[in-house]
Each structure stands twice: as C-alpha cells, then as structure tokens.
C-alpha cells in the first residue's frame, strides 16, 4: 500500500464528510493505493456515527474509537500502529489542513530522500494574539532546544516514512515533538514544505492558550528524557559531586582559617557562628542527595525493558 492517512478527531461531525470527499478528490487522479485511518478520540457528538456511514461509502476508511478522550498523542499512537502504508501522513479533521499538499510531500520522501516532511503554515488564519504570536515564540524555543530548523513543529500535516512511525513512541502530549522523537531515533533527514492553511469552517478550536505553557514544559521533559533518560547519573551525579566538593572546600577553608588564627593568637570567629559554614553543610547534603538520586535513577534505567532497544538501519548477513 502506498499511503496511510491518520486523522485524529474529536467532536468534528460537521467536517468529516467534506474532509473525506476532499481527500478522495485530491488523491484519486494520482492512482495511489491508500487508506484513511480515523481515530475518534472519545467524541461526544455524532462523529462516530458519521465515520461509520462514511466507511460504507468509502471502503478505504478504517476507524478506531476510544471510550473516552485520551488526547491526540494516544490517537496518533494507535493510528501509527494500525497504518500499513509505505508513507504515513497525519492531518487534522477540522479542514484547516489541505489534502492537496499530500502528493508533493510524498514525492519529497520518495525522490528527495526525506524521512519526514513537516508542513509549515507560513500564512495563518488564526487569531494573531492568542495563536500566531505564541506559536512563533514556541517554535523559536523549540528550534533552539531541539536543533531542528523547522518553522512550524506543531503543524498537524506531516508525512513520514513508515519506518519512522514504527520506531517511535508517541505518548502524553509528545505529538508536538514527533520530529525530535524521530531525530533521536536516527531519522534525521527532516524536511519542510510550505502548506496552505485554511480558516476554520466549523466549530471552534479544541486548544486554548494553556497548550503553549504545557508545550514548553513538555519540551523540557522530552529534552531531559532524550538527553539523560538512560544516563541520569551524568546529570544528577555530576551536579551532586560538584555541590559536595564546593561545600567541602568552603567548610575546610573555614576550619583551617580558624585554626591558623587561633595558633597565631589572633582574633578568630568560631566556625559554627558563621552562616557560610551552614551554607557549606547544606551544599554537601544536597550534593549527596543529588548523587544518590542519580544512582537510583541509574538502577532504574539499567533495569528498564527498553535499555537495549536500538534502531538498526542495515545489516549484512
């Protein structure tokens, strides 16, 4: 099969018929063998009934329905697991992503050799204050942290080689950082394509301003896990050792200074009367605790089920 289109949806009954017809119009002239995997993320409207009706009209539709709302990452994870196409495309169900971009994104993967092609909504039709400006700030931060030069990492319209989605695990709210997950899995040939952004036609956005705060926190989480997830001692042990050494040096210096002054008969201040001594003790205690945290984290990492999971690119014999 050439293509799998994974669509996560939540309360989008008004747009589904129009979306599927648009996909069919855009792809039929190219003769692709494709499937549409629609993942209903616990909708409370008639979305599932509409999907059921559409599956009878369009045999290429497959569907998964959650009992409750789990979030977009969970929907994409199940969609990726079910996908059978050589290329997997993700898009939103709100008609803001254009299926007419898919053939060119597929060409970039097949002919230009990209592992992943991310859409870039260069001209947006969202509210400037609540979406455009926060999105620019968020993407600028994401570029700095991840090292991936994408203008719109959170764009829902993306295309992947099948190997990419089969070798990454999307969970929590990590769907925003799939390019970073792919990069850390060894798929670092990541491209970008300017895509046409549509104004929302039905309903209202399911995402508020809080998603940007959550996005920054998730970005820090995924950076930490990818950087130190399998070697926590490198972070906690390093900081703990440094703090303990600094505290020990300060405490030792105060004690030696007191003994030297006492031997010379000069005035000296008792070590226990000096606030710096207690700060040194706090540094030593915190340093030991951080070191032990790294040690415990190392034990957990060494016993993790995926500690020896590696993505093999090629093999001879």
Tell me which residue of 197, 182, 180 sits closest to 91, measured CA to CA. Answer: 197
Q: Are 34 and 85 in contact (CB under 8 A)?
A: yes
Res 205: pLDDT: 63
CA dist., res. 170 & res. 78, Å (int): 9
Question: What local confidence, expressed as pLDDT, does residue 249 receive?
Answer: 95
Q: What local confidence, expressed as pLDDT, does residue 225 receive?
A: 73
Task: Please name the residues in contact with 242: beta carbons below 8 A apart, sequence gap of 6 or more.
Answer: 287
Looking at residue 8, what is its pLDDT? Answer: 95
Q: What is the pLDDT of residue 289?
A: 94
> Which DSSP string do the residues of 111-142 spell out, in sequence order?
TT--SEEEEE-SS--S-IIIIIHHHHHHHHHH
- Angle CA(22)–CA(34)–CA(194) in degrees, nearest 5? 55
CA–CA gap between residue 15 and residue 93 (Å, rounded): 7
- Name which of 87, 93, 148 is nearest 120 in CA terms: 148
Maximum C-alpha span of the chain:
99
Q: What is the pLDDT of residue 308?
A: 54
What averages of pLDDT result for each successive group of 10 residues across the chain (317 residues)?
Answer: 95 94 94 95 94 95 94 93 96 92 96 95 65 74 85 91 93 85 91 86 63 71 76 88 94 90 82 89 94 87 64 63
Count of all residues that appear for the chain in the document: 317
pLDDT for 206 equals: 57
Contacts of 259 (CB under 8 A, 6+ apart): none
Neighbours of 111 (CB within 10 A): 8
Predicted pLDDT at 137 = 80
* Backbone torsions φ then ψ of 308, nearest 5 degrees: -115, 35
Between CA 208 and CA 44 the distance in angstroms is 19
């Amino acid at each position: 099969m050439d293509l799998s289109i994974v669509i996560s949806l939540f309360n989008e009954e008004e747009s589904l018929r129009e979306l599927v017809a648009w996909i069919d119009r855009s792809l039929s002239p190219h003769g692709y063998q494709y499937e549409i995997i629609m993942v209903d993320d616990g909708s409370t409207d008639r979305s599932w009934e509409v999907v059921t009706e559409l599956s009878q009209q369009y045999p290429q539709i497959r569907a998964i329905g959650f009992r409750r709302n789990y979030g977009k990452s969970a929907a994409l994870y199940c969609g990726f697991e079910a996908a059978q196409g050589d290329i997997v495309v993700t898009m939103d169900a709100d008609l803001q992503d254009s299926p007419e971009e898919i053939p060119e994104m597929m060409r970039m993967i097949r002919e230009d050799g990209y592992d992943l092609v991310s859409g870039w909504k260069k001209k947006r039709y969202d509210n400037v204050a609540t979406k455009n400006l926060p999105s620019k700030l968020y993407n600028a931060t994401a570029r700095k942290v991840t090292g991936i030069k994408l203008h719109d990492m959170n764009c829902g319209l993306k295309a992947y080689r099948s190997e990419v989605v089969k070798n990454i695990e999307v969970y929590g709210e990590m769907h925003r950082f799939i390019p970073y997950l792919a990069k850390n899995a060894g798929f670092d040939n990541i491209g970008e394509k300017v895509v046409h952004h549509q104004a929302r036609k039905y309903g209202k956005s399911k995402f508020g301003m809080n998603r940007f705060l959550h996005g920054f926190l998730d970005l820090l989480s995924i950076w930490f896990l990818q950087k130190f997830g399998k070697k926590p001692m490198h972070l906690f042990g390093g900081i703990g050792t440094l703090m303990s050494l600094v505290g020990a040096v300060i405490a030792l210096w105060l004690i030696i200074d007191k003994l030297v002054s006492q031997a010379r008969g000069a005035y000296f201040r008792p070590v226990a009367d000096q606030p710096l001594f207690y700060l040194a003790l706090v540094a030593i205690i915190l340093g030991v605790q951080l070191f032990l945290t790294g040690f415990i984290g190392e034990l957990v990492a060494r016993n993790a089920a995926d500690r020896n999971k590696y993505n093999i690119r090629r093999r001879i014999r």
